[in-house]
Amino acid sequence: METVLSGIRSTGHLHLGNYFGALRNFVKIQNTYNCYFFIADLHSLTTHPHPEDFHRSVRTILAEYIAAGLDPESSTLFVQSDVPEVSELYVLLNMLAYKGELERTTSFKDKVRLAKAKARNKAVNEISYDDHDDEGININAGLLTYPVLMAADILIHRANYVPVGKDQEQHLEYARVLARRFNNMYGEEIFPEPKAFNFGNELIKVPGLDGSGKMGKSEGNGIYLYDDEKTITKKVMRALTDSGPTEPNSPMPEYINNLFTLMNLVSDPSTVEFFKEKYNDCSIRYGDMKKQLAADICKVTLPIREKIDAVYNDTDYLRKVTQMGRDKARESASATLSLAKKAVGFKVF
Ligand code: ADP
Ligand code: TRP
């Protein structure tokens, strides 16, 4: 059976981007593949969370994974830092990763620009990546080598497929580069090259409702699985719109297109068609469209929300789940690590 693996960083509640880009697919495939799903708590350290929030965030993601339908009996559900073999492979892979290629990673450049913009109180587009004054800004080596740790996560279980959203495409490509480089350097086919998992469709990008870009935790525009009906409705009703098209079949501005993208994910095709026709004949009322969109988002998220607190508060159950996941994950990870170490030349005296 082929292996599927994916993770989400523990940096707060899960939003619709995480759900449609990743989690929904985890649930769909958990019984078809040999699945590993984890909480990337080491990755979340790049932004220095407060120690008290750190554990709470791990627990939050775990509870939301399970509430959304991940079954700890069907897939291996674990916490990244519970599997030290990952960190050991990360060290080995770091020796094959070049500074230049890491510096060219889009997510790294974006994060650097964002950090500099925040520190200087400026808009991101006013900041150049080549401005080398990093004084007092948290651009740590962990951020630079983020894709190497992610490659270690994937390669340690010799995963064949990785279900992620479009924003992770470049990181996944880098995991393939490192797998190939390791295999070539040591002349053994230890790591398969992992591919994106997408059900034959394009990878998904869930937009934010604030005009442009993706929905994300750092973007501050999330609609969360944990939001109640009132909060969701308020967030959707606040989405950017205008007074509507004045010419039939006008091109759609990005912020309106984003509403339709979200609607495509949560609503009936006939509902989407209904509002598209209204847009094309200029009779659309965005207020009505947003009300419908909010109601359809709630239909997806409220049944999940209902279960989150009970799972979150069940310490005994969560302990059992993470111990079981850790044991299964370590078994697979230590087998791969032994092969990798042997290939590199480590020998037991
Ligand atoms: P965030 O970007 O909110 O910080 P993560 O980086 O931890 O969240 O992402 C976890 C998973 O969710 C990844 O597979 C990522 O591709 C997916 N994801 C996050 N945001 C989106 C989005 N807006 N659209 C599609 N997928 C997304
Ligand atoms: N980098 C991913 C994100 O931000 C999270 C992640 C860490 C991951 N390790 C992974 C995803 C391994 C898939 C496979 O979304």
**111 included as an active-site residue:** yes
b/e sequence 137-151, b meaning 16+ C-beta within 10 Å: eeeeebbbbbbbbbb
CB atoms within 10 A of CB 280: 14
Helix (H) or strand (E) holding 7: strand 3-9
Return the bridge partners of 9, or none. 40
The single residue of 166, 205, 214, 276 carrying the catalytic annotation is 214
- Please give the domain boundaries of the chain with CATH numbers for all domains: 3-97+145-206+314-344 (3.40.50.620), 229-308 (1.10.240.10)
In degrees rounded to 5, what are phi and psi of residue 9? -70, 145
Give me the mean pLDDT over the 174-194 stretch.
Answer: 97
In degrees rounded to 5, what are phi and psi of residue 8? -130, 140
CA 338 – CA 85 distance, rounded (Å): 10
Supply the mean pLDDT for the chain. 94
Give me the mean pLDDT over the 260-272 stretch.
Answer: 97
How many Å lie between the centroid of ligand 2 and the Cα of residue 6? 6
Atom number, ligand 1, closest to the C-alpha of residue 165: 16
Q: What are 61's two structure tokens?
A: 């993601």
As a whole-number percent, the residues of the chain with pLDDT over 90 amount to 82
* Beta carbons of 250 and 266 less than 8 angstroms apart: no
**116 included as an active-site residue:** no
As a whole-number percent, the residues of the chain with pLDDT over 70 amount to 98
Sheet-wide strand order for 161-162: 76-79, 34-40, 3-9, 161-162, 195-196
CA 109 – CA 189 distance, rounded (Å): 32
CA 42 – CA 187 distance, rounded (Å): 30
Among 24-28, 111-115, 189-193, 233-237, the range scoring the smallest mean pLDDT is 111-115
Among 12-16, 43-47, 218-222, 252-256, the range scoring the smallest mean pLDDT is 218-222
CB of 43 sitting under 6 A from ligand 2:
yes
Among 193-207, 232-246, 262-276, 301-315, the range scoring the smallest mean pLDDT is 193-207
How many Å lie between the centroid of ligand 1 and the Cα of residue 19? 8
Distances (CA, A) of 239 to 99, 182, 222, 258: 40, 47, 12, 10
Tell me the three state secondary structure of residue 72. Answer: coil
Q: What is the pLDDT of residue 341?
A: 97
The number of residues in the chain equals 349
CA 323 – CA 38 distance, rounded (Å): 13
Instruction: List pocket residues of ligand 1, CB cut-off 6 Å.
Output: 8-9, 11, 17-18, 21-22, 164-165, 167-168, 204-206, 214-218
pLDDT class of 200 with cuts at 50, 70, 90: low
pLDDT class of 50 with cuts at 50, 70, 90: very high
pLDDT class of 349 with cuts at 50, 70, 90: confident
In degrees rounded to 5, what are phi and psi of residue 237? -65, -25
Give me the mean pLDDT over the 178-185 stretch.
Answer: 98
**195 included as an active-site residue:** no
> CA quadruple 46, 49, 50, 53: dihedral positive or negative?
negative
Give me the mean pLDDT over the 245-264 stretch.
Answer: 96
pLDDT class of 10 with cuts at 50, 70, 90: very high
**What's the whole-model pTM score?**
0.92
Among 151-165, 180-194, 197-211, 216-230, the range scoring the smallest mean pLDDT is 197-211
